[in-house]
Structure 1
C-alpha cells in the first residue's frame, strides 16, 4: 500500500477548528499525512519552508498567503491545492497554473448559505417585514387591515442578476414559491435560461419589471458599478435591492441617494466601503436592512467547506480527479 500523501495547512489558524472539527480531522488524517498543529501563515517562515519541501497537497483557506513563484520554489513536490473557501482568483498566481498544479475550491459549498440568506431576504422583503418592523417598533400598534400597502409574495416579481453558483442555487430554492422570476446573465442563452426555469431579460428590462432585484454577479472589471445611477433609477418605486455579492458592483453614492430619498429599499450584506463609515445614513434608514457580511459560510457552516476538501482528498486517494476543480480560463468571468 503506497504511503499517504503529505499535506499542509495554509490559512489563518483561527478557522481550522470550525473547518475541520475532530471527526472531520480524523477522516482527513486517514487519507493524508498532516500535522494539525502546523498552519502556515508565511511561506518564508523556516518551519513553513521545511514543510513545503515535502508537501504534495496544500490545504488553504482564508488568510492563506499568495501562492506565487517564490512559494512554489520551496515546494517541488506540490501537485494539488485544495481551497477550503470560495474564490481562488487572488490566491493562486500564474506559476501555479504554469506548473500544472491542480486547484480545487469549496466555492460551491460556500454558495449554499448565501442563497439561503437571499431566499429569506426575498420573502421578508416581499412582506415588507423590515419596514413594518420599524413602524411597529415606533408606533407600537398593528396597522389597520387596509393599511399594509401592496405587500405579499403571491406573484412577486424577482429579478436575479447573475447565474453564478449562488444565483443558480437561489433559482432552485425559489421554485416552490408563487413568484415570477427573471434572469440577467450575458453568458446564459434562452435555452439555458429555460432549463433553469426562468425567462432571460436584458438588464434594463429586468430592473424595470422587478419588485425585488437580487445581485449575484462576480466582482470583475466588467461588472464594476454595473448598477449605476441610471440602472438604479429603473427599479420601480417601492422596489428592493438585495446585494450579497460585492459592494463594488453598485455605485455607492447613487444607491445612498435612492435610499435616503425613500424611493426604494435595500437588504445589504455587502457595501462599499466595507464596513460603511460610522456616520453613514444607511445605518439609520428604516428602508435599509444592513448585515455585516454574514451571508457566506460562518460558524457551523464552515464544516461544509472542510468536508468538501476531505471529499476531494478521498477522491484523489482513489485515483480520481477532483470534482470541484478550478479551470483557469473560468476565472475571467467568475468570482
Structure 2
C-alpha cells in the first residue's frame, strides 16, 4: 500500500447530478492507490466550511459542467492546488486568468467529447448524400414505397464533396472517420497548412470555395467573438443548390435569419443540432420547414458516452500519480482559438 502522505488529494467540483451522471462508482475506484479522493460528494460551491476544508487539502480538482468560477478568492483557499482536470469539453466557464497566473496545469476531456459529435456528423453526412430524410418524408406522406432516383437521381455518397469548416478536435476526427468512404473531403481553417490537411485526409481550400463547391458543409469552428456569423448571408447565398448544411458547433456562428430565408427558397437542406437560442421561439420557421432537421443538442456526449469523458479524466489523474505529464493539456494561449 502506498504512503498516504505521498498521494495526491483529489476533490470533485460540479453539481451533484452531474457527478452522478458522469462518474460511475467503479471509475472513481480506479483512483487508488496513488490518489486520494477526499470525498465522493462533489463541491457544488466554494464558500461553505466543508468546501473550504476540502479545497485546503486538494492537489487536484476534477471539475464538470456547472463548476463555479475558480477566482482569486477560491484559489487562495486552495494553496496546494496544482491541477484542474475538466471532465468535459470547454473549461472557459470556470477556468480564468487567475488559474493561469497561479501556474495551474489544466486538462480537459475535449478529445473524448469530440468522438460522439464526429460520429453524429458522419452519420448525418451519409444520410444527407442519400437524401434519406427527404425520401422518408415522401414515403410517410404518400403511404407508399417510391423509386428514390425518380426524386433524387444524383443521390449517393460515391465521390461527393464534403466540406469541413474548422480543423478543431471535432473537425479533425470527422475527417479521420470519413477516410473510410469514397468521398472528396475539403477543409477550411486559417490555422491549418496544406501538408497537415493532407495528412488528415483532406484538401485545404478557402472558405468561399468550400461553401460553393461542397455537397455537404459541416461547421466545426469554435464560438469566439471573431467567429460570430462567420457563416453570413453572403456565404449562405453561395451554398450550392441541393446542398446540406450541418451545424453541431454553435448557433451564433451562423446568420440564422439568412439561413432560414435560403432554406425557404426550397433548394437547401439543414441539419441543426444547435441554434441560438437553444430553444427557438415557438413560431420559428425552422420547426415547420420540411428541409430542416432539428435535433436537441444530442451530438455531444450523452448517456453511455459520458463515461468516456470520465474515463479520460481519471486516466489523466492516474498519469499524474505516476509522475507523467498530462496527455490533454489546455494552455492559456489555446483559448484564443478554441471553444
> Could you tell me how far 1:250 is from its partner in structure 2?
0.3
1:91 paired to 2:68: no
TM, length-normalised to structure 2: 0.96
Equivalent of 1:45, from 48, 51, 75?
A: 48
Over aligned residue pairs, what C-alpha RMSD do you find? 1.3
CA gap 1:44/1:145 in 2 versus in 1, 3 angstroms: closer
2:301 corresponds to 1:297: yes
- Kindly report which structure 2 residues correspond to 1:176-325, keeping only aligned pairs within 5 A, or say none: 176-325=180-329
Q: Which residue of 2 aligns with 1:154?
A: 158
Alignment partner of 1:39: what SS? Answer: coil
Cα distance in 2 for partners of 1:278, 1:34 equals 46
Alignment length (residue pairs): 335
- Cα deviation per residue 1:294-335 (whole Å; 9 max; x = unaligned)? 111001111111111111111111111111111110110011
Please give the alpha-carbon distance, in whole angstroms, between the structure 2 residues aligned to 1:264 and 1:41. 45
Kept in 1: contact 2:12–2:40 (CA 8 A): no
Tell me how far 1:17 sits from its aligned partner. 2.7
**Consecutive unaligned residues in structure 2, runs of 5 or more:** none
Q: Deviations over 1:258-289 (max 9, x none)?
A: 12222201000001111111221211221111
Structure 1 stretches of 4+ with a deviation exceeding 4 A read none
- Whole-angstrom distance in 2 between the partners of 1:30 and 1:298: 29
Secondary structure of the residue aligned to 1:89 is coil
> Does the alignment pair 1:20 with 2:23?
yes
Q: Is 1:73 the counterpart of 2:82 in the alignment?
A: no
The TM-score with structure 1 as length reference comes to 0.97
Following the alignment from structure 1 to structure 2, what is the Cα–Cα distance between the partners of residues 280 and 30? 54
Provide the C-alpha distance between the structure 1 equivalents of 2:55 and 2:144, rounded to a whole number of angstroms: 64
Picking from 36, 56, 61, the partner of 1:33 is 36
Contact 2:149-2:155 at 8 Å conserved across structures? no
**Equivalents in 2 of 1:221, 1:146: separation in Å?**
44
Q: How big is the shift at 1:222?
A: 1.6
1:120 aligns with 2:123: yes
Say whether the 8 Å CA contact 2:10–2:58 is kept in structure 1.
Answer: yes
Q: For structure 1, which segment, 188-197 or 207-216, has the greater mean C-alpha deviation from structure 2 after superposition?
A: 188-197
The verdict on how the C-alpha distance between 1:310 and 1:31 changes in structure 2, with shifts beyond 3 A counting, is: farther
The partner residue of 1:143 within 146, 150, 169 is 146
1:175 alignment partner in structure 2: 179
Write the distance in 1 (CA, Å) between the matches of 2:149 and 2:307: 47
Residue 85 of structure 2: aligned partner: 82
Determine the structure 1 residue equivalent to 2:168: 164
1:109 counterpart residue number: 112
2:81 touches 2:104 (CA, 8 Å); kept in 1? yes
Deviation at 1:249, TM superposition (A): 0.5
